[in-house]
Amino acid sequence: MLKKLMLIPITLISISSGAADNNYAGFSYPNQAQNAISITFDDARHSQVDTGLAILNKHNVKATFYVSPFNVKERLPKWKQAVATGHEIANHTSSHVCTGNFEWLRQLDLSLEETTLQWLENDILSAQAYIKEQLGVTPRAFAYPCGNTFVGRGINTQSYVPLIAKHFDSGRTWLDETANNPNFTDFSQLTGLRIDGMSFGEIKTMLEQLRGNNSWLILAGHEIGKGAQYTTDAHILDQLLRYLNNDRNGYWLGTVSEVADYVEKHRDQITQ
């Protein structure tokens, strides 16, 4: 079934662009790395600054934190420290609104099904203003809460991807199955690969499976501590960063905006 589905887009590409599909292969990163990797965490969970920051700083790895103000407020000095040590602070909305199929959101009367693009834009811009005022940086990157990219229902559904493309240099989704082809990917829908709850071996297998096309892999987690469904294990993060930092393994590590800038500058021209 999967094989059958995968054949369809390949056929379409070869019909529509002929030999041009080869343009999406081959890309060079700094230090002759085969792939780029960005480490990202969502929601500004307290454990990210309580536990994670020391691990990242120990390995001198700069992460991208997609934050919501309601959590930043409770650890403001630590988030200022994250900025001071060179990590990227990015936007994850003020209200963290997702599909109302999440019971806790619907009980707060928050759901993408029942909201509008205008409401969402205000929610995103109020997070932007808070981050600018309190942390002194203007986020260039955005992560879609729960990976959802729509508002409304059925025939009235609208994508909010264009809104993100208007205000940010990049937008990242969540729970994706593929990495980003640097010559092809849309910066406003960068894919995100879950590392929460995974062992080092499982993460390594995933990285190996997605090495093709000089892909850019954006790893995404939530809590940092003892591994669970929404927690990246602290010891595994330590092990992973040591592995990724070893030049022999062929990875170039950068924040999302750092890699996005590099990719944009060095990739073939893509028709927008």
Amino acid at 270: I
Which tokens go with 73? 């407020």
Of residues 192 and 227, the one with the C-beta less far from Zn ion? 192
Q: Cβ distance 49 to 124 under 8 Å?
A: no
Task: Compute how many other C-beta atoms are within 10 angstroms of the C-beta atom of residue 43.
Answer: 21
Answer for which of 52, 100, 145, 192 binds Zn ion (CB under 5 A) is: 145
Answer yes or no whether residue 147 interacts with Zn ion by CB under 5 A.
no
Of residues 150 and 184, the one with the C-beta less far from Zn ion? 150
Rounded Cα distance, 164 and 41, in Å: 19
Q: Cβ distance 139 to 131 under 8 Å?
A: yes
* Part in contact with Zn ion (CB under 5 A); list of ranges 76-84, 144-152, 232-240, 248-256: 144-152
What minimum distance in Å lies between the beta carbon of 145 and Zn ion? 5
Contacts of 266 (CB under 8 A, 6+ apart): 27, 28, 182
Answer for which of 42, 169, 196, 233 binds Zn ion (CB under 5 A) is: 42
Of residues 169 and 223, the one with the C-beta less far from Zn ion? 223
Backbone angles phi, psi at 251, to 5 degrees: -115, 145
Answer for which of 27, 39, 43, 240 binds Zn ion (CB under 5 A) is: 43
Rounded Cα distance, 13 and 144, in Å: 28
Task: Tell me, residue by residue from 153 to 192, as one string, x for binding to Zn ion by CB under 5 A and - for no binding.
Answer: ----------------------------------------
Q: At what angle do helices 76-84 and 117-135 cross, to 10 degrees?
A: 80
Of residues 42 and 113, the one with the C-beta less far from Zn ion? 42
Answer yes or no whether residue 221 interacts with Zn ion by CB under 5 A.
no
Binding residues for Zn ion, rule CB under 5 A, total 3
Of residues 113 and 196, the one with the C-beta less far from Zn ion? 196
Summarize as ranges the residues that interact with Zn ion (CB under 5 A).
42-43, 145
